[in-house]
Structure 1
Amino acid sequence: MGGTNSSGNEDFILVGFSNQPHLEKILFVIVLVSYLLTLVGNTVIILITSKSPKLKTPMYFFLAHLSLVDICFTTSIVPQLLWNLRGPAKTITNLGCVVQLYVSLASGSTECILLAVMAFDRYAAVCKPLHYAVVMNPRICKVLAGIAWLSGIGNSLIQSTVTILLPRCGHRWLYHFFCEVPSMIKLACVDVHANEIQVFIASLVLLILPLSLILISYGHIVKAVLRIKSIQALRKAMSTCGSHLMVVSLFYGTVIAIYGQPNSSYAHTHGKFISLFYTVVTPTLNPLIYTLRNKDMKGALQRLFHRDLGM
């Protein structure tokens, strides 16, 4: 163990679920299965959206980016979590913690923006069908995806760097199962009021602003849908938006439940389980929601399997 004044290269201790050892073996199995399904499901989505000519549309272009974000996000957290769940050692190296902090925050922030971009795409498809090809042309789609990634990476570079530079005076016990900004700030041995304000403002911009844009987009979509007289057109509009709406509800529901909780011991314990759902289960459900509810996806998947079997 290093000296008490060092805050640099010591390993961190991720307390995680060590206060509930009877749950660790069950959680290990659930997390492992979920992670494997996440990798397979999201990789399949990236493959079929790149291979199938029918899926060369803005909606599937953004969906492939969402799948890549989910793979990056879970891979930054889950392997370390599995390692810590399987035995008594609960440590993560200083470098491992830094990498986890940067990658998980960048991926999570990117997903917030990407879901808003996808809502705008659905708004353009339902409310501006005649201008859709012009509004969502390939160049604009690439720019919007680039903005999502750059916003996420930029937010992570600022918040993570500021958090890492805080003096910790040898404090190493993180009361979470991964390295995240709010837990890391609590290790500081200086006044962190300014940091907490910065985290609050960043959360406001990256959670509330995209969510507001999503709600505005869906407000316009609901108005347009109510004006549709054709049942077939109504079904098509609902099916194109249904999957995205389910993913948004899962993602924002769990994130707001985590960051909207008061700092109490009840919130502390239950927050970890909500975080587990948001970091492990939600990325597993996203590809299932999009493939099971989507005829084009199911068709492309069948054609891909038939082609492979034919070979």
Structure 2
Amino acid sequence: MSLAQKLINDGNAAVDEMLAGIIAAHPDHLFRPEGAPRTVVARNGPREGKVALVIGGGSGHEPTFLGFVGKGLADAAAIGNVFASPPPQPAVDAAMAVNGGAGVLFLYGNYAGDVMNFDMASELLEMEGVEVRTVLTTDDIASAPVSEREKRRGVAGNVFVFKAAGAAADMMMALGEVERIARHANDRTFTMGVALSSCSLPQTRRPSFELPAGEMEIGMGIHGEPGVRRGPLRTANEVVDEIMDAIFKEMGAKPGDRVAVLVNSLGATPLMELYILYARVAERLTSANLTVHRTLVGPYCTSLDMEIGRAS
């Protein structure tokens, strides 16, 4: 099996070199606190009396998480290794760097490692007198039945929850209200994905899983977690219909409701294909008499170079 070609220097240093690059590219917007190399902080978001919103997770999903740090979004992000939770210290560093005295909200995907490490960070912060609340994103409808929503993973729909919570915090709402809005946004976000090929990790440059040519997997997670079924590759419209049927079944939308839509690339899917997918999504929404408030099409939450993407 041939190795994937990547423009990197050292697979083990890829995350730190990426962080150095994004800080160098956007010095007016982002910085890393001294002694906190895995923490990215917004220059124009945190302020006294404002709830601090801290997000975070493993690398490899860019622009999630570090790309959603800024005014009206998250105040800081804790960054882990590729597909690995950040340790507790980067989360503590992030919270301390942006704490404005109104409390901290941790907001991240529902993965065991993230939960363990952010919970440890919460305990350390509370020992320092910092009030911390936590909201887990659980938008991946393929990862557990609706009766066990608390077991679901957080995937590309994170984007909507980050924005809702960030806007609430930017409006100087109290910690409890920011938490409530984040939970409500998560409860009303539904995502399902499809994979056509594996990603390759920078350390190994080998596929992280095997998917035979001509096949697709519906419901696969952003780290290659098993989906709900594998089968022959179908047309764009057929794939959208399967995903939209599952989302409509859960969301319970009524004619006239407004929705925000994300058609997300996992890293290797070109915009041409994403817009072909969205054309069918738009047809389905029109047929259901739903009004589109906002549309996002592109790589918002990736899985390195995996193909294809997700709809939320």
The normalised TM-score by structure 1 is 0.32
The higher radius of gyration belongs to 1
Answer 1 or 2: which has greater helix percent: 1
Answer 1 or 2: which has greater strand percent: 2
Tell me which of the two structures has the higher relative contact order, counting C-alpha pairs closer than 8 angstroms and 6 or more residues apart. Answer: 1
